[in-house]
Amino acid sequence: MTQFQERRTFAIISHPDAGKTTLTEKLLLFGGAIHLAGQVKARGQARRARSDWMKIEQQRGISVTSSVMTFEREGVTFNLLDTPGHEDFSEDTYRTLTAVDSAVMVIDAARGIEAQTRKLFEVCRLRSVPIITFINKVDREGRQPFELLDEIADVLALDVAPMTWPAGMGGQFEGIYDLRDHRLLQPTGGSREYGGKVAQLSGLDDPKLAELLSADALARLQEETELAEIGYAPFDEEAYRNGDLTPVYFGSALKQFGVDSLIRSLAAFAPPPRPQPAEPEPVEPSRDEVTGFVFKVQANMDPNHRDRIAFMRLCSGTFKRGMKLTPTGHGKPISVHSPILFFAQDRELAEEAYPGDIIGIPNHGTLRVGDTMSEKAQVRFTGLPNFAPEILRRVALKDPTKTKQLRKALDDMAEEGVTQVFYPEIGANLVIGVVGQLQLEVLISRLEAEYKVAAGLEMAPFETARWISGDPARLKEFVEINRSAMAKDRDGNPVFMAKSAWEVGYVAERYPDITFAATRER
Ligand code: GDP
């Protein structure tokens, strides 16, 4: 068995508060990566306290930074890519989802499908990322299992296959029944957690069940599961992998119910690394050459160093420490002497890594989001988009002698993919573009904290931007007529800044041979 077939690289998608952090902690706990649950958050907070701009996270109670957590169980290596939950950072989240092979969708049993879950689900669907559903918080009063399953099926247009079933919920919760393995997991002690009390049964008519459950709970469990069997599709691995069906697990991350089943499910059904879209042709994970792409760049992981970490997803080959990799398009090979693997947020030097693994490559700003890395520099991965900004602002310096520092800072942050920077054809004020409001606050506090540049933001006369391309003669004409609305992005590509989305439509109609793109692949 080749190593990569034993890799499961996945992300958790959810709406804030559904329980992603709690589930992450429990996955790591059950995966043996940490010994005390709660450590993820505690350490996260210790780290956050060290960095100024991260104060915003604390104030808002959101998680802006994202990381990679690796754990192993029974020969399978799990790489969990954390996605920032706040909607302002959806761009970052979208990019992270390009680096996973599957996803776990966490739903709050009292709330069902929420806005953010739905948005993230659409991204997964676009990329045919298969999804396992975890209905969380069954220890609390929630909606009925049928209502939740029907909502998933209707709203997301997916077949649902219940894999487990709760014996009561909230105050009536007496355990979780595994419909495939015929096991009943039950709470114990005052905290009513799952502490290992499990009974192997022959089926739902096993007489032993009467000793384990109250008469009411048993009758209800039997009736509901019978109806469920008629009403829902049986689990079908192929349909799941095609993204047409989602297996559904009920559980409580807080009380440790369902976590073990989820890990087993990932090991048994979630796909190992898949071929990745690339030019000139898709890259198979079995290819000998080492290839990968950068889906995230993060500064300040360690505030004592100004290094940046580029997160690269390995797509093929066996990576060995010290190997030389070349970013396609920028020429110079980079020796990767101190790659980082993220074992439960502790940095460890990686000696070897396989397709599906994530490697952190320290660098001084050479590597950028969307870069393809490879030994021969002959492939280029596709499909990592830059999104058109929805908010544009002019940056106004409080101290005009700091122009150079400002440019450097904005370039750095553009490289990280935090903000986009545009150089207008007319005028000296740089324009920055972001997808969400929160990014503006992050930008200003980082300018002060890291670059000692005091700056403010002014309204720009524009609201959105589009990358333009097309026939060179027509482009030139367009640029000349619209010079006051033209800018270049960091890579020198022409960008048209518009007062509104309506204006984009109006102008696009008048220039049918020019393409106005809202995303740009890097
Ligand atoms: P995130 O925003 O999705 O990361 O959610 P958190 O993991 O921070 O959880 C949000 C809140 O729900 C916290 O107060 C958790 O303690 C609580 N919570 C998470 N899972 C459960 C659960 O299974 N049962 C109950 N009762 N509360 C939970």
Give all domains of the chain, ordered by start, each with its CATH number.
3-64+104-269 (3.40.50.300), 278-381 (3.40.50.300), 385-521 (3.30.70.3280)
Q: How much is the pLDDT for 44?
A: 43
Ligand 1 centre to CA of 58 (Å) is 17
Q: How much is the pLDDT for 217?
A: 97
Burial 212-248 (b: 16+ CB within 10 A, else e): bbeeebbebbbebbeebeeebeebeeebbbebebbbb
Mean pLDDT of the chain: 85
137 is in an annotated binding site: yes
Residue 114: alpha-carbon gap to chain centroid: 17
pTM above 0.90, yes or no: no
DSSP codes, 372-394: EEESS---EE---EEEPPSEEEE
Determine which residue's CA is closest to atom 28 belonging to ligand 1.
Answer: 254
364 is in an annotated binding site: no
ipTM: 0.99
Contact of 345 with 381, CB cutoff 8 Å: no
CB-count burial class (<10 Å; 0-12, 13-18, 19+) for 199: middle
Contact of 321 with 357, CB cutoff 8 Å: no
* pLDDT band, residue 46 (cuts 50/70/90): very low
83 is in an annotated binding site: yes
The Cα 324–Cα 421 span in angstroms is: 30
20 is in an annotated binding site: yes
Write out residues with Cβ below 6 Å of ligand 1. Answer: 14, 16-22, 85, 136-137, 139-140, 252-255
* Ligand 1: nearest atom to the Cα of 85: 2
82-118: per-residue pLDDT in tens? Answer: 876 555 555 677 788 889 999 999 999 999 999 888 8
C-alpha separations of 89 from 94, 133, 295, 414 in Å: 9, 23, 14, 14
Ligand 1 centre to CA of 424 (Å) is 46
Q: Give the HSE-up count for residue 108: Cα atoms under 13 Å, Cβ half-sphere.
A: 17
User: Average pLDDT of 284-312?
Assistant: 80
* pLDDT band, residue 386 (cuts 50/70/90): low
| Cis peptide bond prior to 280, omega within 30° of 0 | yes
User: Average pLDDT of 391-402?
Assistant: 88
Does the pLDDT of residue 187 top 90, yes or no? yes
* pLDDT band, residue 460 (cuts 50/70/90): confident
pLDDT > 90 in the chain, percent: 49
